[in-house]
Structure 1
Amino acid sequence: MIKKFTIQVLICTILIAPFLMTFQAEEKRLDIQNANEIQHQAFNDSPIIWTKTFGGRGSEICYSMDTTRDGGCILVGETTSFGSGGSDVWLVKVDRNGQEEWNKTYGSSHGDYAVDGHQTSDNGFILVGGTTSYGAGDHDTWLIKTDQTGNELWNMTFGGPDRDQGYAVKQVSDGGFIICGGTKSYGKGPNDYWVIRTDQNGHELWNITYGTKGYDWGYDIIETSDNGFIFTGGTDTSITGTHILDIGLIKVNKDGVLQWEKFFNKPPVEKRWDEGYGVIQTVDGGYIIAGIAHTYGWDENSNGAGWIIKTDAKGNKQWDKTYGGGNCDCLCSIRITSDGGYILSGWTYTYGKGDADMWIMKTDAQGIDQWDITLGGDKFDCSMFHTIQQTADQYYLIAGYTESIGSGSSDIILVKLGEPLITIAGNGQNGFSWTVKNGGEDDLEDVNWSISLDGLHFMGSDRSGTIDLLPAGGEITLRVGGMVLGFGPMSIRVTVGGIGKTLNCFLLGPFVIKG
C-alpha cells in the first residue's frame, strides 16, 4: 500500500523489459454507505448531489477516477479488504447515479496497486501502477488491460532490479499507450523520469529516461496536439542540494526525443519541495500545471500552497497562482471546464473540519478563485492525482479516500457536486466587505458564515455568525469585525454555507488593495 508513502515521498522508478503473466481477477461486493447519511455526518452545508463510499473492513484508496461513455465512471486504486492478499489493484465501475455495477481485483499475495486508469477505444480499460508480486525487480511498473466488464485481457511489467513505478497512462491516437513514472533501475541519477511507449497490446516500442543527477520523477503525461508528449513532476535542479525539488515540465516528440524542458520554483529556495501532479493542454496551445509549492514536510505543521502555472506552447510561464498555504495544501488534478475556466482537486490542512480535507476549487480562465469547497470529517480525507472531472450534465465528480466515514480504516469516496447557489464577491478600499448572493430559486435559512484574517494587520478581527434568511435572488453584505488596519500582504477568507473564497490583498493603513 502506498497511502502515506505516496503523499510523503513519491519516489518512483522504471523498467526496460516487459514480462507477461496471467492471474485471476476476483470480484467482490462492496459495502456502500447511505448517501444522505454521509452528507449529514460529514459534508453538510455544501452543494452536494450525492456521496458514496466503497470499501470493506480493511483499507481502500482511490488514486484515479475517469468518466465513461455511458455517463458513469471508474474508480482506480488499491484494496486490502478484497483480493489475493497484501494490497491488490482495485477497479470499480459505477453508474451515473453512483451505484456500483461491478468491481475487480488484480494481484497476488504482495503489494499491488494502480495509480491511473481510463476507458479505451474498445470500451475496455487500461490501468497502470506498481507491483511487488510480479516482474524483474523489487518493485516494477504494472500495465493491465481489461475488457468492458473488467476481465483481464493482458498485463505487462516493466522494470529492472530496483524500484520502478508508473504514475500515469494515456491511450494515444494510434491506439497504443504512453506511460509516465520514475525509475531507480535506469538513468543517470538516483531516480529519473521514465516514459514508456507501447503498442495496443502493451509491447514496448521504446522507453527513455530524462532528468538530472538528482531525484526526478513524473506524475502525469498527455499526448499533445503535434502528436508528441508532455509530462510534469518533480526535478532536483540544485547543485548545492539546498533546493530540493522544482516543478518540471518536459516536452518530447512522438519518438521521445527531448524538445525542451522548463523548471519552476517558489522562493525561498532552502528546503523547498515543489512538484507538478497534473498537466493539460489549453485551447491556445499552451499548458497548465497543477501542483504544490511548499517547504519540506507533509503534515499540518509544514507550509505549502496549491500552485497552478500557465505557460505558452514553448513552456514559458505566462502567469501563476497560489492558493491556501497556511499549512500544507496541494492541488493534484486539473481539468478545463465548459466555461473556459478550471476545476481542481487536492487536499488542505488549512481549511476544513478535521485533519486533512478534500479540497475542490473552481477558477476562471486566468486562475482567479471563484469558489472552493472542503469535504471531510474529523480524520484524514484526501483527493489525489487524477480524481476530478466535469460531467456531461455540467456537474462535477470528485473521488478520493476517507478515514472519517465508511466501513474500514479508509474507504474510497465519490462525490457528485453542483455549482454553488451562493456566490461571494469581495469589495475593498476603506475596510473590507463581502457581498453574498443566493442565486437559487429557494430561500436559504440558518446559513453559517465566517470571516478570518491572516497577515500583517494590527486592527480588525475574525467574525462568524448565522444568516437567518437569505431570500432567493437576494443578497446581503458581510463585514470584517472593526476597522482593518495594517501594512503588508494579507489573506482574507470568507466561508458561507460551506462555500469558501479567499482574497490575497495588500494592506496600506486602512486601505485594502486587491491582489
Structure 2
Amino acid sequence: MVLTALLASCNLEPIDGNDENGIDAGDIRAKIIGGSGQDEATKIIQTSDGGFLITGSSTSNDGDFQGMGIGQRHIHLTKIAANGSIEWLRTFGGSGTDIAHDVIEDRAGNFVIAGESASNDGNFSGQNRGGTDLFLIKVRPNGDLLWARKYGGSGNDIAHAVIQAPGNGYFVTGSTESNDLTFFTKDNTSRDAFVIFTDQNGAQNWTRTVGGSLTDEAFGIAITLRNGVVIAGSHQSQNGNFTGLNPGIAGIFTLELDVNAQFISLVSYAGNGVDVGRSIRQTTDGGFILAGSSDSSSGIFSDNSAGSQNAFLMKLSSNYATEWVKTVGGSSNDAAFNVIQTENNHFILTGESRSGDNDFNNLNQGENDAFLAKTDQTGSLLWVNSYGGSGSESARSLVQTSLNDIAVTGWTESSDGLFENSPGGRNFFFFLTDIDGNLRSVH
C-alpha cells in the first residue's frame, strides 16, 4: 500500500491502470528478494546499461540465495535488468559477519563495494586485522571478483561510503577505533571518522582521520567541484579536530579534504540533541544537500516542534554555510538515509517513519514505513509518500533513473500491502515510482 500526503499544489494523478496506484492487475508493484533469513539492502545505483545494482547483506541460504549462503552474514550484490528481472546475484565474504554499506560503478564499468567484515577466510582469507575491518571489493560488470582488500587495525573499523576519485582510485569513509596498522597515526582508541584514498587496485595512497576523545563517525561522501572530497557524519567530541565546536549531545559535521589529504573546511551544525548527517551530495549551484536525522529542538533545528527524532534536509552553500534546513516528521521517530537532487532542482529524500501525524498525518500503515518526501529548491515540502504493510519497513537508498523515475531499495518485514508478495521474515525490496512518488509496475 502507498499513502500520500499533499503539501503543495502538484499533479499526483495516478498512472494509467486498474488500481488506486495506477498498477494494472497482475503487475508486480514491488520486487521482493531474499530467503528465510535476514536479508537487507543498503544501496541502489542505476548501471550504465540501464539496469540497477543493489548491495547489502543476507543470512539466507535458500530462496533467491539458494546454496549461496556464506558464514554468519554475507555480502550480496544483486543485478536487476531495466525490465525489473534479476540478471544475477553474487555473494561474498567468509565464515564471519560481513556487511556491505555502499556500491558504485566506476568509469571502467566495474563495481566497487564498501563495508565491514569480521571474516579471516573466504574472500578475505588471511586479511583480518582484529575485530571488524573495513573492506573494498571490486568486481567485473558480470559480478566476477577482481579483488577484495581489507583495511584497519586491532579495533573495529567500518566503511560506510565509497566514491571514485576525479582521476583513478577511490575515496572511502567511515569510522575507526584502531590506532595501529592502517590507522597508525591515530593517537587514541575512541571512534574517529576517516578518509582513505586508494589507487584503482585498492592500494593505499593516504589515510586521514578526524576526531577527538569521544565518538565521531562519517556516513556520507561526495566529490566537490574543487576535485576534493567531502564527508558528512556526526561528532560528539569538542576537542582534537573539533576543538571549539559545540555539538550538543551529537552534532553534524562536514569535512572537505583536497587530493593530498589537507583540510580545506571543517564545519559543525548542531542543536541541543542528537543530530546525524547520513547523505551528502554536491548540488548544481555549487553547494551541497545533506540529509539525516535530528531530535534537536533548538539552534538550526528550532522548527522541530514535535520534539521527536525527525528526518531533515539541509542546504549548504559552496563554503558550507547553512542556507536552509527542513525537518520532516511527526511525534514518533523518523529518519532519512539518502537524498537526491532532481533535474528540476527539487530534492527527494528517503528513509523510515514511525509517525502518523504532522508531515505523516494518516500515513502510518503499521510499524515503521518506508517513505519518500519531496521539497522544492528552497526547502518547501511538496509531498510525502508512505510505502509499506503492517510490519516494519526501511527505505535506505534511491536513485533517479534515466527515464526520470525513482528507484528505491531497503528492507521489509511485511507480507501485505505493497509487499504482499513477500514470503515473510526480513527481505529486501526494489520498487519504482514516478517523479511524484506514484508507483510504477516492476515487471
TM tier, smaller: 0.7 to 0.9
Does the 8 Å CA contact 2:216/2:237 hold for their aligned counterparts? no
Match of 1:73 among 52, 77, 96: 52
1:340-388: per-residue Cα shift (whole Å, max 9, x none)?
111110110103201100010111111111111111111110012xx11
Does the 8 Å CA contact 2:392/2:412 hold for their aligned counterparts? yes
Give the AA of the match of 1:317.
Answer: T
Determine whether 1:157 maps to 2:143. no
Aligned twin of 1:440? none
Does the 8 Å CA contact 1:378/1:404 hold for their aligned counterparts? yes
Note the C-alpha offset of 1:419.
3.7
Higher relative strand content: 1
1:442-479: per-residue Cα shift (whole Å, max 9, x none)?
xxxxxxxxxxxxxxxxxxxxxxxxxxxxxxxxxxxxxx
Note the C-alpha offset of 1:325.
3.4
Q: Distance in 1 between matches of 2:370 and 2:234?
A: 22
For residues 124-163 of structure 1, the aligned pairs below 5 Å read: 124-134=110-120, 135-163=128-156
Aligned twin of 1:371? 383
1:65-115: per-residue Cα shift (whole Å, max 9, x none)?
111111111110001113222100000000112210000000111100100
Any idea what SS the aligned residue of 2:399 has? strand
Match of 1:388 among 398, 402, 407: 398
Q: Distance in 2 between matches of 1:407 and 1:257?
A: 50
Q: Distance in 1 between matches of 2:117 and 2:22?
A: 38
Q: Distance in 2 between matches of 1:370 and 1:377?
A: 24
Match of 2:341 among 336, 341, 350: 336
Q: Distance in 1 between matches of 2:33 and 2:264?
A: 43
Q: 45-54 or 72-81, which moves further after superposition?
A: 45-54
Does the 8 Å CA contact 1:58/1:79 hold for their aligned counterparts? yes
Determine whether 1:98 maps to 2:84. yes
Aligned twin of 1:513? none
Aligned twin of 1:107? 93
Determine whether 1:62 maps to 2:41. yes
Q: Which has the higher contact order (CA 8 A, sep 6+)?
A: 2
Kindly tell me the number of residue pairs found equivalent between the two proteins.
372
Note the C-alpha offset of 1:46.
4.2
For residues 422-501 of structure 1, the aligned pairs below 5 Å read: none
Aligned twin of 1:410? 426
Q: 1:71 to 1:230 in 2, by over 3 A?
A: same
Note the C-alpha offset of 1:159.
0.7
Give the AA of the match of 1:346.
Answer: G
Does the 8 Å CA contact 1:46/1:373 hold for their aligned counterparts? no
1:285-305: per-residue Cα shift (whole Å, max 9, x none)?
111100111169xxxx98211
Match of 1:258 among 257, 263, 271: 263
Give the AA of the match of 2:149.
Answer: M
Q: TM-score, normalised by structure 2?
A: 0.80
Q: Distance in 2 between matches of 1:58 and 1:74?
A: 21
1:209-267: per-residue Cα shift (whole Å, max 9, x none)?
0022211000011111111110100111458999321011111111121111111123x
Q: Distance in 1 between matches of 2:55 and 2:343?
A: 25
Note the C-alpha offset of 1:45.
4.5
Aligned twin of 2:370? 358
**Structure 2 unmatched ranges of 5 or more:** 1-16, 62-68, 121-127, 180-185, 240-244, 298-305, 357-363, 416-421
Determine whether 1:273 maps to 2:285. no
RMSD, aligned α-carbons: 2.4
Q: 1:137 to 1:98 in 2, by over 3 A?
A: same
Does the 8 Å CA contact 1:167/1:218 hold for their aligned counterparts? yes
Does the 8 Å CA contact 1:290/1:308 hold for their aligned counterparts? yes
Does the 8 Å CA contact 2:212/2:238 hold for their aligned counterparts? no
Give the AA of the match of 2:55.
Answer: V
Q: Distance in 2 between matches of 1:374 and 1:176?
A: 38
Q: 1:76 to 1:249 in 2, by over 3 A?
A: same
Note the C-alpha offset of 1:137.
1.1
Aligned twin of 2:284? 283
1:424-450: per-residue Cα shift (whole Å, max 9, x none)?
xxxxxxxxxxxxxxxxxxxxxxxxxxx
Aligned twin of 2:31? 52
Q: TM-score, normalised by structure 1?
A: 0.69
Sequence identity of aligned pairs in percent?
A: 28
Q: Distance in 1 between matches of 2:275 and 2:316?
A: 17
Note the C-alpha offset of 1:181.
0.2
Aligned twin of 2:419? none
Give the AA of the match of 1:172.
Answer: A
For residues 171-250 of structure 1, the aligned pairs below 5 Å read: 171-186=164-179, 187=186, 188=188, 190-238=190-238, 243-250=248-255
